[in-house]
A and B are shown apart, each in its own frame.
Chain A
């Protein structure tokens, strides 16, 4: 899976309101480096302004991935600890109301040392992004962005009645111009009287997939697609950069474009090439019937000249071990959900692990029959994740 996913980041707990409506609460911080400390692929270091899941976490790009389930009511809290500029969170593509849209002059901003909350529902499964909309041209380039994923109720389905998949990967593309990250630009004196800001010319030197580039993409498996032959992979792509991206998929991956901007396409597009422009998101199904070791190329083209200025190669490793597509047709599910005692698992065999929202392993078990139950009554209220050999679930403990 993608690097640096922090499921429902930060302090995460389940609240029951008077109407018993579940509210998923996420807490993130906005911060700024006080000196260059983010290391780029060539060893150079640069300053970032960004979002972190914990106060003590170093800033990374992209920021923590926010992940919710279709229909969730979400309270997203932002604490601004960036020592200067105000910030916001724009929930790009979620079509939230004006008050929660994160555009400072049309709603509000979060000043230094303030904590404020955005409230929204996650109605459409798909791939979205979030970013600061305060002096957005600068703050986005500075690093204030991340992915936001809305899973369908069935987490292995793209949307209700959509496409099944075995595993998903998410790529967020961007660029980095170190001039914009120099102290005099990124650490500008905060002026509460104007949103206007003089910015440098944009000439990026680094071209990123999930914040990494060049050899890092190979060494760290930051974005590598690793799957088995016949497995169906859902690749989520979001471009938060200021360049266009042209993806080229190896022929054997049989790429199918199925949705964009959180909505299914009227008809799928079968292609080996996909262009994703700034702000766009696409979801692509990949499935190889044979073993391959290859790469997906990502070309970064200048929107003014249309010249390709950089190409990044993301590894694809499809092993020859044949997975049965029929696995997906099994009706594996859990119930009741939410639960306050027993949790029944149907058509789930083999080893299972249960994790809490911080990724801590809470319980291990091995299931041998088509339907078994496990006792979760001793768990604290909150959200938990079940990882099995072929499918993942999420449940709420009341």
Chain B
């Protein structure tokens, strides 16, 4: 097993409340399948925190100033690559090999880690997750949004090719599940109280543009990797482009349960069935 040590400094090292520390994390590349909302099994490949497969890529939570010591194990039979977009260089990982990456995260934000090999193939097939770096202790929720075409997954896993200019996804997921299962995911389903400050971290690791609409509340853009100038815009609908990350702040002014969904209303379907797509609710208590 080869070992590659990378130490990456992200500018001035800043600590948050003196609590920054070294976080040890492992990611195992495992091929299996994704269970869809209509119980179909679609070939899929993800990063996993343990050698046990999970169709949801882990969300790595850090405090600003933390050092991430990350091992990535490739349990697949083919070469994969690993990169933290905009942070690290691309590292190749041979089949049944591993790599080590040490990164200091001195800048808060939301980052995408993924396999960029044959882009967008391996990212599309599931190898893409989120790293969150924050400097606060407010309640946080996380969406890794993505869409899928099961025929394409089958074809790509068989070594075939697809025409990305004709991409036509059929399943739309948040953290790898669709409505009605998103509300069962406690890190995706936003809950809180009137007046509480809530943060939503979103990454789009799919290939489509999504337009996420909030009922009941406007939210404030606190970070947009694609459009930094949009900082502090107060909106109810938030476009998010492929491989973009977005951080939203919500301070609910009233109680209630309200939908949050993609306003490309095709994306609230699952294999053409309404409403089995990107649809969840926010639940705010008095």
A interface vs B, CB < 8 Å?
A: 90, 92-93, 95-98, 101, 103, 106, 135-138, 140-141, 195-202, 242, 244, 260-263, 265-267, 269, 275, 277-281, 303-307
Q: Give CA–CA (A242, B261) in the complex, Å.
A: 13
- B241-265 at interface with A (beta carbon < 8 Å): 253-259, 262-265
B interface vs A, CB < 8 Å?
A: 147, 164-169, 207-211, 213, 215-218, 229, 231-237, 239, 253-259, 262-266, 268-269, 272-276, 281
Q: Give CA–CA (A195, B259) in the complex, Å.
A: 15
> Is A303 touching B264 in the complex (CB atoms < 8 A)?
yes
A304/B239 contact (C-beta < 8 A), A199-B274, A261-B218 known: no
* Chain A contacts for B215, CB-based, 8 A: 90, 95, 101, 103
> Is B168 touching A106 in the complex (CB atoms < 8 A)?
no
Tell me how far the C-beta of A104 lies from the nearest C-beta in chain B, rounded to whole angstroms.
Answer: 11
> Is B272 touching A261 in the complex (CB atoms < 8 A)?
no
* Chain B contacts for A97, CB-based, 8 A: 216, 254, 256
Tell me which of B164, B216, B269, B274 contacts A305 (CB under 8 A): B164
A266/B272 contact (C-beta < 8 A), A137-B266, A277-B263, A278-B265 known: no
> Is A261 touching B259 in the complex (CB atoms < 8 A)?
no
* Chain B contacts for A137, CB-based, 8 A: 265-266, 268-269, 274-275
Tell me which of B167, B239, B268, B276 contacts A275 (CB under 8 A): B239
A198/B211 contact (C-beta < 8 A), A98-B257, A305-B165 known: no
Closest residue on chain B to residue A280 by CB atoms: B237
> Is B233 touching A260 in the complex (CB atoms < 8 A)?
yes
Tell me how far the C-beta of B247 lies from the nearest C-beta in chain A, rounded to whole angstroms.
Answer: 16
Q: Give CA–CA (A202, B266) in the complex, Å.
A: 7
A277/B209 contact (C-beta < 8 A), A95-B218, A263-B234 known: yes
* Chain A contacts for B209, CB-based, 8 A: 244, 277, 303, 306
A266/B232 contact (C-beta < 8 A), A106-B258, A304-B208 known: yes
Main secondary structure of the interface of A (DSSP, over half): loop
> Is B208 touching A303 in the complex (CB atoms < 8 A)?
yes
A277/B273 contact (C-beta < 8 A), A95-B216, A106-B258, A260-B233 known: no
A242/B264 contact (C-beta < 8 A), A101-B216, A304-B167, A304-B207 known: yes
Closest residue on chain A to residue B164 by CB atoms: A305
> Is A305 touching B167 in the complex (CB atoms < 8 A)?
yes
Tell me how far the C-beta of A194 lies from the nearest C-beta in chain B, rounded to whole angstroms.
Answer: 10
Q: Give CA–CA (A280, B236) in the complex, Å.
A: 8
* Chain B contacts for A201, CB-based, 8 A: 168, 272
A279/B168 contact (C-beta < 8 A), A97-B256, A106-B258, A304-B208 known: no
Q: Give CA–CA (A93, B236) in the complex, Å.
A: 6
Most central of A103, A263, A275, A303 by chain B CB within 10 Å: A303
> Is B211 touching A280 in the complex (CB atoms < 8 A)?
yes
Tell me how far the C-beta of A217 lies from the nearest C-beta in chain B, rounded to whole angstroms.
Answer: 24
Closest residue on chain A to residue B239 by CB atoms: A277
The 7 residue pairs across chains A and B that have the minimum distance between CB atoms: A279-B263, A98-B256, A277-B211, A137-B265, A277-B239, A279-B237, A278-B263
Tell me how far the C-beta of B277 lies from the nearest C-beta in chain A, rounded to whole angstroms.
Answer: 9
Tell me which of B169, B211, B254, B274 contacts A197 (CB under 8 A): B274
* Chain A contacts for B164, CB-based, 8 A: 305
Most central of B229, B234, B276, B281 by chain A CB within 10 Å: B234
Tell me how far the C-beta of B58 lies from the nearest C-beta in chain A, rounded to whole angstroms.
Answer: 27
* Chain A contacts for B263, CB-based, 8 A: 277-280
Most central of B169, B208, B231, B237 by chain A CB within 10 Å: B237
